[in-house]
Amino acid sequence: MNYEVRGNIALLTLNSPPVNGLGLPLRQAINEHFDKALADDQVQALVITSAAKLFCGGADISEFGTDKALAEPGLPAVCDRLEASPKLVVAAINGMALGGGCELALACDYRFAHPSVKVGLPEVNLGLLPGAGGTQRLPRLAGAEVAVQMITSGAPINAKKALDAGIVDQLAEAEGDFVEAALAYTQSLLDQNTPVRTCAELSVDTAELPENFFADFRKSIARRTRGFFAPERCIQAVEAAIELPLAEGLKKEQELFQACMSTPQARAQQHLFFAERAATKIPGVDPKTPLRPVNKVAIIGSGTMGGGIAMNFLNAGIDTTILDLSQEALDRGLGVIRKNYEITAKKGKLTEQQVEERMALLNATTEYADIADVDLVIEAVFENMDIKKKVFATLDEVCKPGTILATNTSTLDVDELAASISRPQDVIGLHFFSPANVMRLLEIVRGGKTADDALLTTIKMAQTIKKVPVVAGVCWGFIGNRVLEPYGREAARLLLEGATPAQIDKVLYDFGLAMGLPSMIDLAGIDVGYLTRQGNKEAFYGRDPAYTAICDKLNELERFGQKTGRGFYIYEGRDKKEDPEVMQLAAELAKEHGVTQREISDQEILERTIYMLINEGAQVLEEGIAYRSSDIDTVYCNGYGFPGHRGGPMQYADEIGLDTVLAAINKYRNELGKYGEEWFKPAPLLEKLAAEGKRFKDYAA
């Protein structure tokens, strides 16, 4: 932290890379320099700003769970001291102010901000609530509605909105020296004998608060926050700001904060915060490796995936060319892209001008010669190896040296594709998830010969297009679909053994998944699953014909799911209902395959589906397909609807104990006869770590 006195203003500059995290050292520094300014008679006011591009990223999350987080001065005490200052304190918000960083600013008397900044309280994304006065000061400055929306969504707001809401008092000019402007603003407050202004003197203005506001607000977020512990406590804290004087409200906030901090959910969500960032670090690869440029991109295939992939690059302002075999296909594909943008614009999330800007970056061609000079090509053609090899052979001939050649395959062998051309070092898998312009996850499949710079370039590219990259090795299904497979197998098997689709769906929905497996298969298409299985017959049919029986039968009956109105369920409009025919079918298939039907408990359904998913995750980890267990969690929480409040399958296993998972797997191995012996083999790594009393997160290959 830097300290200097300019005239009669003390300038305190936060300078603790990477994000001015308010860990113990910085909290101590703020206190020390604050005391220094108070003791200096020349100093009449203080300005707090940052030397970094952002103002402050909040409390130091890496301190949570350690003594440092509780060591004095705690962040609440630092904020309370700023608020009680007898000398004027101005927060000069030069960049992003999040969490405790925003609370630090709220504890100052006035807030001066650069027009480009954003302020927010994202603690709810970490399973917490603002714990340094944010839930008490923000409602007093901006009102309960703005406050409860910001605190439960965790979404930052821009400087103009913050000014309108009363969070920021004055915006700087966009150009010019921001610190000088902040000092001049502060001097003007002094010249006007502006008094200190503490939130303790303010009460929450509820005059405009609609009747039943909080009850209605709770209903409005119920679906999005289903299963999460923190959002309700956020609301209770804001209600306390209305009902209690500041000092008591701050106490209530601390109680609620500690209640959140001690939950497995908080551990899970903080785990995911670091997991997402850890996934961009590749063992053995120098992060300073120079990257290849990605200024121009081409997408081969203008279908649903190709169009969705293209939109990601258009949104990032990158020149994008879509190539397809016919002008008709191109016209259809481009029409879908424009329509998608127009729908987004109708929702107010894009302006007409922004739509046109995006469309202006989009080129279309049927000629490979037109994409000779692009930096990255992503093929999104039919999921067939021969077709993909033909595309790659042409790209190999046409594209300039150094162009990264990516396949969007979801299961095919990237190494086989790479070996079919002259430059395997340029080949990589970029597995987008449908809808490709919406889903955050991007599995980056590193081939055996993929060059390090190509790999790091695609990771950076993923972040540029606002995806969450996770690097996977080459195997069937990479990380996501590979680990999903035994989970799907158990759900299908349980149907034969007597569980109903609705029972399985309810167990998994109540666990926190966006939807259970029968519903997910009906949504994705039973015919799609059937086709995928034909591409890997050995894996799906080689060991147990019963395992795919019910899905194959539904496919044969052309019950493809939602798209045909019948699958595991019958669909009438948006309603779905159980179909006795499906249970009858399951009973007949069970008889045919010698499977005994019985009453199955919810707990067995949960354990057999989730634990076998975890078991496969352990295999993937041991094989090095995933570098770390948290990569598997990042995949599952960003691409497969695994509940964020559980932190992902591997974090969940670590939380309940690997011995618990292992004991259950061994139980089913013994209880399920031949099927159990065949399929419930514990992964060696799971057995090893459980025996050592360790967690998956303790494992590094």
Name the minimum Å distance from CB 429 to ligand T1G. Answer: 24
CB atoms inside a 10 Å sphere around CB 73: 17
Q: Could you tell me which stretch among 127-135, 467-475, 620-628, 665-673 binds ligand T1G (CB under 6 A)?
A: 127-135
Name the minimum Å distance from CB 67 to ligand T1G. Answer: 16
188-217 burial: b if 16+ Cβ within 10 Å, else e = ebeeeeeebbbbbeeebeeeeeeeeebeeb
Taking the least distance from each CB to ligand T1G, the nearer of 44 and 62 is 62
605-616 burial: b if 16+ Cβ within 10 Å, else e = bbbbbbbbbbbb
Beta strands in 328-403 (DSSP E): 362-365, 376-379
Instruction: State how far the Cα of 330 lies from the Cα of 324, in Å rounded to an integer.
Output: 6
- From residue 132 to residue 171, the character string flagging contacts with ligand T1G as x (rule: CB under 6 A) and all else as - is x-x-------------------------------------
Catalytic position from the list 83, 103, 276, 383? 103
Is 83 one of the binding residues for ligand T1G (CB under 6 A)? no
- From residue 258 to residue 297, the character string flagging contacts with ligand T1G as x (rule: CB under 6 A) and all else as - is ----------------x--x--------------------
Structure tokens that stand for 132 in this block: 């340094």
Choose, by CB under 6 A, the member of 8, 31, 62, 354 that binds ligand T1G. 62
Taking the least distance from each CB to ligand T1G, the nearer of 100 and 529 is 100
Instruction: State how far the Cα of 292 lies from the Cα of 457, in Å rounded to an integer.
Output: 6
Please choose, from the candidates 147, 185, 182, the residue with its C-alpha nearest in 3D space to the C-alpha of residue 166. 147
Residues 499-538 that bind ligand T1G (CB under 6 A): none
Catalytic position from the list 123, 253, 497, 604? 123
Instruction: State how far the Cα of 692 lies from the Cα of 669, in Å rounded to an integer.
Output: 22
Taking the least distance from each CB to ligand T1G, the nearer of 57 and 529 is 57
Please choose, from the candidates 348, 499, 471, 480, the residue with its C-alpha nearest in 3D space to the C-alpha of residue 411. 480
Please choose, from the candidates 617, 613, 18, 635, the residue with its C-alpha nearest in 3D space to the C-alpha of residue 276. 635
Choose, by CB under 6 A, the member of 1, 119, 126, 266 that binds ligand T1G. 126
Instruction: State how far the Cα of 568 lies from the Cα of 642, in Å rounded to an integer.
Output: 22
Instruction: State how far the Cα of 559 lies from the Cα of 553, in Å rounded to an integer.
Output: 9
Is 234 one of the binding residues for ligand T1G (CB under 6 A)? no
Instruction: State how far the Cα of 80 lies from the Cα of 105, in Å rounded to an integer.
Output: 11
Q: Is 443 a catalytic residue?
A: no
Q: Is 103 a catalytic residue?
A: yes
Name the minimum Å distance from CB 274 to ligand T1G. Answer: 6
Please give the distance of CA 382 from its chain centroid, rounded to a whole number: 28
Q: What angle do CA 393, 395, 399 make, to 5 degrees?
A: 140
Taking the least distance from each CB to ligand T1G, the nearer of 96 and 256 is 96
Is 469 one of the binding residues for ligand T1G (CB under 6 A)? no
Q: Could you tell me which stretch among 59-67, 421-429, 434-442, 567-575 binds ligand T1G (CB under 6 A)?
A: 59-67
By the 8 A CB rule, do 519 and 498 touch? no
Q: Could you tell me which stretch among 120-128, 142-150, 484-492, 660-668 binds ligand T1G (CB under 6 A)?
A: 120-128
Is 480 one of the binding residues for ligand T1G (CB under 6 A)? no
Taking the least distance from each CB to ligand T1G, the nearer of 75 and 653 is 75
Name the minimum Å distance from CB 349 to ligand T1G. Answer: 21
How many residues of this chain interact with ligand T1G, rule: CB under 6 A?
Answer: 26
By the 8 A CB rule, do 5 and 18 touch? no
Q: Could you tell me which stretch among 91-99, 315-323, 431-439, 470-478 binds ligand T1G (CB under 6 A)?
A: 91-99
- Omega cis (within 30) before 486: no
- From residue 97 to residue 116, the character string flagging contacts with ligand T1G as x (rule: CB under 6 A) and all else as - is -xxx--x-------------
Q: Which residues of this chain interact with ligand T1G, rule CB under 6 A?
A: 18-19, 21, 54, 57-62, 75, 96, 98-100, 103, 122-123, 126, 128, 130-132, 134, 274, 277
Catalytic positions are 103, 123
